[in-house]
Amino acid sequence: MEFESIVLQGVDPQRPIVIAGPCSAESEEQVMEAARRLASKGIKIFRAGIWKPRTKPGGFEGVGVIGLQWLKRVKEETGMYVATEVATREHVVEALKAGVDILWIGARTTVNPFAVQEIADTLKGTDIPVLIKNPVNPDLELWIGAIERIHGAGVRRIGVIHRGFSSYDKKIYRNLPLWHIPIELRRRLPNIPIFCDPSHIGGKRELIAPLSQQAMDLSFDGLMIESHCHPDQAWSDAEQQISPDVLDYVINLLVIRDVSQTTENLSELRRQIDQIDEQLLELLAKRMRISREIGVYKKEHNMPILQSPRYSEILEKRADMGESLDLSAEFVKELLKEIHEESVRQQMIIMTND
Ligand code: PEP
Ligand code: MN
């Protein structure tokens, strides 16, 4: 697939290209205040959700078409480009009619080939840049399939947004970054611009700066960051929005490394190690959760915590498995002993609690 640059006139093509604005357009005043303050910080592309996909009914579902007039006003008064999320044919038609400059497809839409195809069909014959968020589940082929559908409609200015992937377990992030997926996407489609959305990955304000830095370190092209003038009062995603001042601070602190550096670079490898350690800890937490469930079962069935045959079997099997992965059997046994000890400790708490 061939792609054209999505660089817009007047937007500095240097990294990072920043798209910022509130999660949702709430009122004309809120939109205009955010736009003016972001424009004063040099932000050139404004985002705001007009139609909001909510997990459950009853949440704020967006203001709808009226909000498109507010985006029009943002363009007229600040000169910024404006972007919004589309999920249906009607959204696309209305957004194009209102002169929206960039469309994005949300994670809950990218998962659905029917919905993406409907958007693609509606886009035929138009030349608007489209940013495609990753699907909620970690499925690279589904993500690429959505890109192919939009490309198939003749759209050439396509970019992607990495916003992390849902998972059931308790975790540091709202959505797991699984950086290897956008990295693999870059390998498969080397010319497509990749944005990172640290707001939806992190789900918390304090994670926006480190995630943005990680994205820059992985040579992402841009960032989409949720920014609201009164983040605590936001009608959606309040915990992850930052004020325009904080956004400006975060962007100015970013270290943009020389893209010509190779991946052999040591700091790059260290970052990979950091990410793997995070994954290891999350996996351990998941293992402990299951172990606690086993503890509950043992308690209900009056079974002892220590099931020696099972423990010996685990040690032997894992040691063999480790050896086949070039890990010494001794190391694997030591590691499992430690894990098992912690597991027993957690089950003891369950046994002794009423
Ligand atoms: C959003 O950008 O506000 C949004 C709904 O994002 P996502 O599709 O990534 O959940
Ligand atoms: Mn949001």
Clarify whether residues 246 and 296 are in a common domain: no
Asked if 72 and 172 sit in the same domain, the reply is yes
Instruction: Answer whether residue 259 is part of any domain.
Output: no
- Please indicate whether residue 50, judged by its CB atom, sits closer than 6 Å to ligand 1: no
69 and 98: one domain? yes
Same domain, 216 and 268: no
- 115 C-alpha to center of ligand 2: Å? 20
Query: What average pLDDT does this structure show over 131-150?
Result: 98
Q: Which atom of ligand 1 is nearest to the CA of 197?
A: 9
What residues have a C-beta under 5 A from ligand 2, the ion?
23, 237
Could you identify the residue written with the tokens 């790059």?
268
Nearest CA to ligand 1 atom 10: 107
Indicate whether 43 belongs to any domain.
yes
Give the residue whose CA is nearest to atom 8 of ligand 1.
106
The domain boundary, picked from 207, 222, 253, lies at 253
Q: Is residue 98 lining ligand 1, measured as CB closer than 6 Å?
A: no
Any ligand 1 atom below 6 A from CB of 86: no
CATH number, domain at 335?
1.20.59.10
pLDDT over 90 at 9, yes or no: no
Count how many domains the chain has.
2
Query: Are 272 and 188 part of one and the same domain?
Result: no
With a 6 A CB cut-off, is 133 part of the ligand 1 pocket?
yes
Nearest CA to 85 out of 67, 230, 165 is that of 67
Closest ligand 1 atom, CA of 109?
A: 8
Is the confidence at residue 243, as pLDDT, over 90?
Answer: yes
Q: Is residue 245 part of a domain?
A: yes
In a domain, 188, yes or no: yes
Give the pLDDT of residue 262. Answer: 61
CATH number for position 118: 3.20.20.70
Looking at the predicted structure, is the pLDDT value of residue 265 above 80? no
Q: What is the mean pLDDT of the chain?
A: 93
Residue 239's pLDDT is 97
Asked if the structure places residue 136 within a domain, the reply is yes
- Rg for the chain, CA atoms, rounded: 24
6 domain-assigned:
no
Asked if pLDDT for residue 261 goes beyond 80, the answer is: no
Same domain, 169 and 81: yes
CA of 203 to the centre of ligand 1 (A): 11
34-82 pLDDT tens trace: 999 999 999 999 999 999 998 888 889 999 999 999 999 999 999 999 9
Pocket-testing residue among 110, 196, 197, ligand 1, by greatest number of atoms within 8 A of Cβ: 197
* 153 and 228 fall within a common domain: yes
Range scoring the smallest mean pLDDT among 173-177, 194-198, 254-258: 254-258
Domain-ending residue, one of 208, 227, 253: 253
Closest listed ligand to the CA of 241: 2
Q: Give the rounded percent of residues in the chain with a pLDDT score beyond 90.
A: 79
Q: Quick one: which of 181, 182, 248 has its CA closest to 41?
A: 248
Residues 93, 230, single domain; the answer is yes
Same domain, 102 and 148: yes
Domain residues for the domain of 31 are 17-253
Where does the pLDDT of residue 242 fall: very low under 50, low under 70, confident under 90, or very high at 90 and above? very high
Residue 23, ligand 1, Cβ within 6 A: yes
**pLDDT band at 293; cut points 50, 70, 90:** very high
pLDDT of 48 reads 98
201 CB within 6 A, ligand 1: no
Residue 2 maps to a domain: no
Q: Are residues 181 and 86 in the same domain?
A: yes
Is residue 21 lining ligand 1, measured as CB closer than 6 Å? Answer: no
SS (H, E, C) the chain: CCCCCCCCCCCCCCCCEEEEECCECCCHHHHHHHHHHHHHCCCCEEECECCCCCCCCCCCCCCCCHHHHHHHHHHHHHCCEEEEECCCHHHHHHHHHCCCCEEEECHHHHCCHHHHHHHHHHHCCCCCCEEEECCCCCCHHHHHHHHHHHHHCCCCCEEEEECCECCCCCCCCCCECCCHHHHHHHHHCCCCCEEECHHHHHCCHHHHHHHHHHHHHCCCCEEEEEECCCHHHCCCCHHHCECHHHHHHHHHHCCCCCCCCCCCCHHHHHHHHHHHHHHHHHHHHHHHHHHHHHHHHHHHCCCCCCCHHHHHHHHHHHHHHHHHCCCCHHHHHHHHHHHHHHHHHHHHHHHHCC
Which ligand 1 atom sits closest to the C-alpha of 110? 8
Residue from 196, 184, 126 nearest 159 by CA: 196
Asked if residue 277 and residue 154 are part of one domain, the reply reads no
**CB-ligand 1 contact for 203 (6 Å cutoff):** no
User: What pLDDT sits at residue 270?
Assistant: 85
Domain membership flag for residue 282: yes
272 versus 235: the higher-pLDDT residue is 235
**Whole-angstrom distance, CA of residue 224 vs CA of residue 246:** 14
Domain stop point among 234, 253, 272: 253
Ligand 2 centroid to 180 CA: how many Å? 23
273-303 per-residue burial string, b: 16 or more CB within 10 A, e: under 16: eebeeeeeebeeeeebeebeebbeebeeeee
User: Same structural domain for residues 186 and 233?
Assistant: yes
